Structure 1
Amino acid sequence: MKYVFIYTLFFMFVFCSSCGQSQTKVPQDNISKGLYSGSQLKEADTSKAPMSMVRNVKQDRNGNILIASYLGVFRYDGISFTNLTNKISPPRVSSFWDVLEDRKGNLWFASKDSGVYCYNGQTFKHFTTKDGLASNLALHIYEDRAGNIWFGASRYDGKSFRNFTTKDGFPSNSIRLLLEDKTGKLWFGAQGENMFVYDGKIFTVLKNKDGKTFKNVWSIIEDKKGNIWFGDVSGLWRYDGSTFTKVSQRGAYAIIEDKKGNIWTTGSNASLGQHLRDNSGRDAWALSRYDHQSLYNEKPAVTEIMSGQPGLLGLLEANDGSIWFGSFKGVYRYDGKTITDFKSKEAQH
Structure 2
Amino acid sequence: MRVKSVSQNIFIVYYMFLIMVTISCNKQSQSTETNNIVHDKNSVQHLDKGINAVRLKYTTGVRSILEDSKGNVWFGSYNEGVCLLHNGKFQYFTTKNGLSDNQVRNIYEDKNGLIWFECGRGLSTYDGKDINIYKERNYNSKNEWKLNKRDIWFKGDEIEGYNKLEKYPGVYQYEGQKLSYRLFPVTPKPGDGFKYYISTPFVKGKNGIVWFGAYGAVIGYNGSDFKILDNEYLQFNSETNYLHVRSLFEDSKGNLWIGNNGMGVLKYDGKKVVNFTAQHKLKKEYTKGNSLEKVFSIGEDTTGNIWFGTVGSGVWKYDGKSVKNFTKEDGLESNHIWTIYKSKQGELWFGGANPSGVYRFNGKSFERKY
Same fold (TM over 0.5): yes
Q: Write the mapping of 1:21-100 to structure 2, written as runs, cut at 5 A.
A: 49-69=57-77, 70-77=79-86, 79-85=88-94, 88-89=97-98, 94-100=102-108
Question: SS at 2:112's partner residue?
Answer: coil
Q: Is the 8 A contact 1:257 1:263 kept in 2?
A: yes
Is 1:158 the counterpart of 2:176? The answer is yes
Instruction: Report the equivalent of 2:120.
Output: 112
Q: Is the 8 A contact 2:313 2:327 kept in 1?
A: no
- From 214, 218, 221, the equivalent of 2:249 is 221
- From 342, 351, 356, the equivalent of 1:326 is 351
Instruction: Report the equivalent of 1:263.
Output: 306
- TM-score for the superposition, normalised by structure 2: 0.60
- From 138, 144, 149, the equivalent of 1:146 is 149
Superimposed CA distance per residue, residues 287-317 of structure 1 (whole angstroms, 9 cap, x where no aligned partner) = 22222xxx1x4xx232325468453211113
Is 1:126 the counterpart of 2:150? The answer is no
Distance in 2, Cα, partners of 1:155 & 1:224? 25
Instruction: Report the equivalent of 1:182.
Output: 206
What percentage of residue pairs aligned between the two structures are identical? 24
Larger-Rg structure:
2
Change (3 A) 1:222 1:210: closer
- Name the count of aligned residue pairs: 259
Change (3 A) 1:102 1:159: closer
Distance in 2, Cα, partners of 1:90 & 1:116? 8
Change (3 A) 1:182 1:89: same
Is 1:206 the counterpart of 2:229? The answer is yes
Measure how far apart 1:55 and its partner are: 1.0
Distance in 2, Cα, partners of 1:197 & 1:90? 30
Structure 2: give runs of 5+ residues left out of the alignment: 1-54, 140-146, 156-170, 189-195, 283-291
Q: Is the 8 A contact 2:72 2:84 kept in 1?
A: yes
Distance in 1, Cα, partners of 2:268 & 2:132? 39
Distance in 2, Cα, partners of 1:234 & 1:48? 32
What amino acid sits opposite 2:205 in the alignment?
Answer: D
- From 241, 256, 263, the equivalent of 1:234 is 263
Distance in 2, Cα, partners of 1:196 & 1:48? 35
Change (3 A) 1:216 1:210: closer
Distance in 2, Cα, partners of 1:133 & 1:265? 37
Structure 1: give runs of 5+ residues left out of the alignment: 1-46, 135-143, 269-283, 343-349
Question: SS at 2:197's partner residue?
Answer: coil
Distance in 2, Cα, partners of 1:48 & 1:207? 38
Distance in 1, Cα, partners of 2:267 & 2:149? 26
Change (3 A) 1:53 1:179: same
Change (3 A) 1:155 1:71: same
Q: Is the 8 A contact 2:99 2:131 kept in 1?
A: no
- TM-score for the superposition, normalised by structure 1: 0.64
Distance in 1, Cα, partners of 2:358 & 2:270? 34
